[in-house]
Chain A
């Protein structure tokens, strides 16, 4: 479960987030939609604990940080960062490690899991996504879609409360995207929260349980996916949905 209460962030005179509050249950998938440059990625980075914010607080499960704590290199922020895993738009796999190395790096060297166990678990997930044969390859030898699956598995391997994905559709490999959807749905079904930032309404329709619409630096509205798509309350949401349907 994620609770965001009144967080704000301003860089110079530009507000990136203004008083954003939302509460979101575990075990569900949340899609965050809205035009580019409206604070979606900023929100994701704040939830991950990687980007300090100026006001408010964020709670994941039983761990929470305030605005003050978000900018300090304290024990608390390291604990908070462990609560979420992030998959960046450009993935940023570790180029010096193999597929297996990317996934098992943190379980082995942070959690202290025996290497053989970590590799066995990673391999099972790779097989499930149909890329087990690539386990000893380096990231640059993989297609974009394959790389994305490795990046997701790398984040999932640490078993975070929350999985955050930034614009995953840009790397999705259409033939295999069903596998990725299943993987994310299975992950959510085991009591985790999945937050997906995307500008593609089509990708989230029938996949995300909830949708949140971000206007300029603020949360305009949030609802169950079907309700938000069929019956948007705000004029700005309606306009955005109208445009994205034409695309």
Chain B
């Protein structure tokens, strides 16, 4: 019954399914703070108006900004309405409507920073600039040879600016107004610059839809609907009047060229970061796991409870959430770690919980009599542990530890969430730049395999070597 009604409605007036990323998406599209079940924003209102003008029903499909073009081409929705800028590289794989809004870019710095008043200052003094990944600003920065740090949403970018993890942030004025203008610890650096355009993104095969959308955009501009919407969001300026005069609008178009050699080198650098993260985190996990295991199996009641709480907390919550917590939550209490260190510490703390369980099982597998023999030979607990118990437990623990290390290796990919430029982040960025998810994906997989296979191989060899020692598979003496 419901289904029948739905299809009838769809037949009666067709649906315009439009995609946008609502996370950190204000004032474009975002969850209405007054009523979190619904969305609001100027793009939300514009999409509704556009659909109405075309005698269609608007249906909002939340998506991910970075891969929004790929999602469009996968037919998850029909059009992109998300402060979407036309770029030369995008033009190869999709159609753009005519502009419905002309935007500018604004550079923001910390209040106490008097050294940066333009983008050029960032370049000459080698300061890092944060921006949203895969947008006009990021293309501008990449082509200009700046030190760029890509973010998934403006919130993270401005927060890192406040915390000093990045020196400046370049963002569309709309986002800058909403997220930075009222922040007392930040200030605009210089005047807005670069005139860009927001357009509707359409699949290459939908040229009929494109012309219908263009007609509707003209009508909305002529009948004042567009002005009403952007005035409401305090984003209207005289620049927009150019859009009413057909053909008079001029805007700057950014582009991105992809150089395969450069891309592969970038991937190699990202792979090195991945290795660094994995080893750093494993060292923390391996060392911290020992006191946790001992505390849980041999400690007093309070120690035991504390260790158990730690272990269950880190095993029972997702590592991604833990990283976000460390990166964005800890600064609240005054601890600000850079992204790479957060990733190492976070993954290390998480895997320490797992390692402690590996150790605990391994320690328990060493007979109690081994402790007793050591004690009767005059060893104190610490020496007995270090010289007698630990080497035996290590041999038992090695195979599961190897497994964990390979898993940790792959889990370094969660660091993309806190803007660390490791292999998974590089994959997303480069695949977006080239729209070659398959080709770059295969290369990235090869990189991961090139790192994890030797690791597994060496661990296996070490295991066999240790095993020979105890089981005598290697018959060193033949005199028996």
A residues apposed to B, CB below 8 Å: 48-50, 78, 81-82, 84-86, 88, 90, 92, 94-96, 105-106, 109-111, 133-134, 136-138, 140-141, 154-155, 158
How many Å lie between the Cα of A92 and that of B388 in the bound state?
A: 11
Question: A140 near B471 (CB under 8 angstroms)?
Answer: yes
* Given A106-B379, A110-B379, A86 and B373 contact (CB-CB distance below 8 Å): yes
Question: A133 near B477 (CB under 8 angstroms)?
Answer: yes
* Given A92-B369, A94-B388, A136-B476, A50 and B376 contact (CB-CB distance below 8 Å): yes
CB-CB nearest 8 A-B residue pairs: A141-B472, A106-B377, A110-B378, A92-B369, A96-B391, A95-B470, A82-B378, A86-B376
Closest chain B CB from A155 CB (angstroms) = 8
Q: Which residues of chain B from 441 to 478 have any CB-CB distance to chain A below 8 Å in the complex?
A: 469-472, 475-477
Question: A141 near B372 (CB under 8 angstroms)?
Answer: no
List A contacts of B470 (CB < 8 A): 95-96, 138, 140
Option from A134, A136, A138, A158 in Cβ contact (under 8 Å) with B377: A158
Question: A105 near B376 (CB under 8 angstroms)?
Answer: no
Option from B383, B387, B388, B472 in Cβ contact (under 8 Å) with A138: B472
List A contacts of B391 (CB < 8 A): 96
Q: Is B367 an interface residue (CB 8 A)?
A: yes
Option from B378, B383, B392, B475 in Cβ contact (under 8 Å) with A111: B378
How many Å lie between the Cα of A154 and that of B379 in the bound state?
A: 13
Q: Which residues of chain B from 390 to 428 have any CB-CB distance to chain A below 8 Å in the complex?
A: 391-392, 395
List A contacts of B373 (CB < 8 A): 86, 88, 92, 94, 154
For A137, give the chain B residue with the smallest CB separation. Answer: B477
Q: Is B380 an interface residue (CB 8 A)?
A: yes
Option from A50, A133, A137 in Cβ contact (under 8 Å) with B375: A50
* Given A106-B378, A109-B387, A140 and B472 contact (CB-CB distance below 8 Å): yes
Q: Is B479 an interface residue (CB 8 A)?
A: yes
For B470, give the chain A residue with the smallest CB separation. Answer: A95
Option from B375, B469, B480 in Cβ contact (under 8 Å) with A81: B375
List B contacts of A88 (CB < 8 A): 369, 372-373
Question: B469 near A110 (CB under 8 angstroms)?
Answer: no
Q: Is B370 an interface residue (CB 8 A)?
A: yes
Question: A50 near B372 (CB under 8 angstroms)?
Answer: yes
Please name 4 further chain A to chain B contacts, defined as beta carbons within 8 Å, in addition to the given A85-B377, A95-B392, A133-B477, sorted by A numbering.
A86-B376, A96-B395, A137-B476, A155-B376
List B contacts of A92 (CB < 8 A): 367, 369-370, 372-373
Question: A81 near B376 (CB under 8 angstroms)?
Answer: yes
Closest chain A CB from B24 CB (angstroms) = 54
* Given A92-B369, A133-B477, A81 and B471 contact (CB-CB distance below 8 Å): no
List B contacts of A106 (CB < 8 A): 377-379
Question: B370 near A134 (CB under 8 angstroms)?
Answer: no
List B contacts of A49 (CB < 8 A): 375-376
Closest chain A CB from B465 CB (angstroms) = 12
The proximity string for B residues 354-388 relative to A, scoring 1 for CB distances below 8 Å and 0 otherwise, is 00000000000001011011011111100100011
How many Å lie between the Cα of A226 and that of B387 in the bound state?
A: 44
List B contacts of A154 (CB < 8 A): 373, 377
For A154, give the chain B residue with the smallest CB separation. Answer: B377
How many Å lie between the Cα of A30 and that of B209 in the bound state?
A: 103
List A contacts of B376 (CB < 8 A): 48-50, 81, 84-86, 155
* Given A140-B471, A158-B377, A94 and B370 contact (CB-CB distance below 8 Å): yes
Closest chain B CB from A120 CB (angstroms) = 19
* Given A85-B376, A158-B378, A96 and B469 contact (CB-CB distance below 8 Å): yes
List A contacts of B479 (CB < 8 A): 133
List A contacts of B379 (CB < 8 A): 106, 109-110
Between B372, B375, B376, B392, the greatest number of chain A beta carbons within 10 A of the residue's beta carbon is seen for: B376
List A contacts of B370 (CB < 8 A): 92, 94
Closest chain B CB from A73 CB (angstroms) = 8
List B contacts of A96 (CB < 8 A): 391-392, 395, 469-470
Closest chain B CB from A41 CB (angstroms) = 12
For A151, give the chain B residue with the smallest CB separation. Answer: B373
List B contacts of A137 (CB < 8 A): 472, 476-477
List A contacts of B395 (CB < 8 A): 96
